[in-house]
């Protein structure tokens, strides 16, 4: 394999915005946004991973942008692509499937994560009470916390989309279980003093 190109690299045409979670999921439900592109890895996240993403949303932890490709124009229609699909999800499928699961009531989170007056009904679990969107007094309160950055590209082929996917997901080194276990131990505040690094 060579990394050489026939011409100098040119910047990809992209734009950046923040979309509410409803902007994504409404497009998916209407069939305007494709989640199952052929280069994607399919549904991979566990419920624990989805619950952790909900925690990140609730606490305002930065969440990586969803990368979309705008499938507008003749290049897409001429290749026989569905004219109804205007976006393909290049990266972010697991995040969007988590949002859909939450909105559909298929995902529950610890009710202790929310102010008590937000919860109308909870269900008992081995881990204490959990709540689904259907058990909230005002579901929009959580939905307002679920904005996701959006990067939109405009490339003309599925091969171009797959190249972007590879650049996003193929760089870097995956975390090992040992890496994540070490961070989990440190995150447990009982295991470490407030400052265990170098001091001034």
**pTM here?**
0.85
C-beta separation of 15 from 151 below 8 A: yes
The domain total for the chain is 1
Q: What is the pLDDT of residues 60-102, one digit of tens each?
A: 999 999 999 999 877 777 666 666 789 999 999 999 999 999 9
Q: Residue 135, Cβ neighbours under 10 Å: how many?
A: 19
In a domain, 162, yes or no: yes
Residue 183 domain-assigned? no
What percent helix, strand, coil does the chain show, rounded to 5? 40, 20, 45
**Domain enclosing residue 38, as ranges:** 14-173
Residue 197 placed within a domain: no
Q: Render pLDDT for 103-116 as a digit per residue (tens, 0 to 9).
A: 999 999 999 999 99
Within a domain: 6: no
- Contact status, residue 63 vs residue 115, Cβ threshold 8 Å: no
The answer to whether residue 58 is domain-embedded is yes
Q: Is residue 154 part of a domain?
A: yes
Beta strands 128-131 and 109-110: pairing type? Answer: antiparallel
């Amino acid at each position: 394999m060579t990394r050489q190109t026939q011409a100098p690299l040119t910047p990809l045409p992209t734009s950046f915005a923040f979309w509410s979670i409803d902007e994504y999921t409404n497009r998916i439900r209407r069939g305007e946004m494709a989640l199952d592109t052929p280069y994607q890895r399919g549904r991979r996240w566990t419920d624990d991973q989805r619950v952790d993403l909900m925690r990140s949303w609730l606490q305002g932890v930065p969440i990586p942008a969803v990368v979309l490709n705008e499938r507008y124009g003749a290049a897409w229609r001429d290749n026989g692509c569905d004219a109804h699909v205007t976006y393909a999800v290049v990266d972010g499928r697991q995040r969007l499937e988590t949002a859909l699961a939450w909105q559909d009531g298929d995902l529950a989170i610890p009710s202790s994560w929310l102010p008590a007056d937000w919860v109308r009904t909870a269900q008992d679990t081995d881990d204490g009470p959990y709540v689904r969107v259907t058990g909230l007094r005002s579901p929009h309160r959580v939905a307002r916390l679920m904005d996701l950055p959006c990067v939109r590209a405009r490339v003309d082929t599925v091969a171009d989309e797959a190249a972007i996917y590879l650049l996003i997901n193929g760089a870097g080194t995956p975390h090992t279980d040992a890496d994540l276990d070490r961070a989990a131990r440190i995150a447990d505040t009982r295991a470490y003093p407030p400052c265990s690094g170098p001091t001034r």
